[in-house]
Amino acid sequence: MTGRLAPAVPVVLALAWMLSVPRPVEGHAVNDPQDEILRSVGVDEKLGGAIPRDALFRNQKGDEVRLGDYLAGGPVLLTLNYYTCPMLCPLTLRSLLDTMDRMKGIALDRDFRVVTVSINPEDRPEVARARAGEIHDQMRGKSDPASRWPFLLGDEKAIGALTGAVGFRYRKVGNEYAHPDVVVVLTPRGEISRYLYGIEQDPADLKLALIEAAGGNIGESTALNRVLLFCFQYDPVGKKYALYARNIMRAGGVLTIALLGGLLLVLWKRGRGKATP
């Protein structure tokens, strides 16, 4: 599918770095490296594309794993971070966990997974274990947190294959990374279903994205899922799910016809009853 450039995405580290570097003197036409970095960071949406299922990574224990091994059993929320990040990444991961805890009818330990991959090939397993431990300790009541939310490490080739497949563009700035803040929603087949932007996700948007990626086959009620998918559609401009007026009007019209038909049937039966004597 043709790549589509996403709108402005939070790039906290790049902005912080910009503020710390002097601007060129006004009136001099100088190519500003800060602007070039901001232009190079973002997301080129590749909806319908697929991640490299056979790409090899290591989990937080240091064991070699295949990316496709985490696709079984439902959709996946893919986050791309790095484990030595001092501010943005920990905040984003904690916010995502809080959002998932506020979702109703869909559970992390039953219906889907989160997979976090470091974009820094120099991250070590001990750093991944520390970051994973911070999140897993907060997953109270969840069975086997390490399996439901793994923290993976990879070399440059594996990281490049994954970030290229999902259109994730980032830059190393000194010892840190400037990167977009986005959650990539994957189907159980590893296809890209939706991109959700921002440090904090709306529980309703996250739930609808998971339902959409699973084709409705997720959670406590598949019937309710189908109703939600019928009534809500993703707004590519506002980057949120919104009520789809055409389908609601269509459903209202069908309901009105059904009620009128029922009323006419009752009146017809009453009329026949009176005419029989």
Q: How do residues 165-205 score in pLDDT, each as one tens digit?
A: 999 999 998 889 999 999 999 999 999 999 999 999 999 99
Does the domain at 4-243 match CATH 3.40.30.10? Answer given as yes
Instruction: Determine phi and psi for 206, rounding to 5 degrees.
Output: -65, -40
pTM: 0.74
**In this structure, what are the phi and psi dihedrals at residue 169, rounded to the nearest 5 degrees?**
-110, 130
Confidence band, pLDDT 50/70/90 cuts, at residue 104: confident
pLDDT band at 254 (very low <50, low <70, confident <90, very high): very low
- Region of 196 please: left (phi>0), alpha (psi -120 to 50) or beta: beta
Distances, alpha carbon 241 to alpha carbons 175, 183, 224, 230, in Å: 37, 15, 16, 12
Domain ranges of the chain: 4-243
Q: How far apart are the first and last CA of the chain?
A: 71
